[in-house]
Amino acid sequence: MGTLLALIAALAALAFAVLPLIRHSRKRSNGEAEVSELLTQRDLALDDIRELDFDRDLGNLSQDDHQELREQSKRRAVAILKELQAEESRIDDEIEQAVTALRREP
């Protein structure tokens, strides 16, 4: 039980540290920096899932606790992946607009 509380506290601390970074990245106008930040967040989310699996394998987490925490981490990872996909789509649209504008020039 103590390990579960420690794990929950660690995940809460990670979320506390990560949220300002995510919010800050949304304010950036530089698409490349935002994609880089989202990739970093994606990697952190996947590392969280791996760590939960490792803790379960070591016996530090019960199957129920592992499943609940893993689902939370998966939802966060999916949200980050959706943001990443939206950002990449926006960049693709900007590239298409630039190409179209270049084709119109004499």
Helix orientation angle between 63-104 and 2-27, rounded to the nearest 10 degrees: 10
Cα(104)–Cα(48) distance, integer angstroms: 48
Q: What is the pTM of this model?
A: 0.60
Specify the number of domains making up the chain. Answer: 1
How many DSSP H helices and E strands does the chain contain? 3, 0
**pLDDT tens digits for range 18-28:** 777 666 545 54
Contact 36, 21 (CB under 8 A): no
pLDDT of residue 106: 67
- Give the residue among 48, 32, 42 at the shortest CA–CA distance from 83: 42
Which residue has better confidence, 20 or 59?
A: 59
**Band of pLDDT at residue 30, cut at 50, 70 and 90:** low
Residue with tokens 């103590």: 2
Range of the domain at 92: 2-104
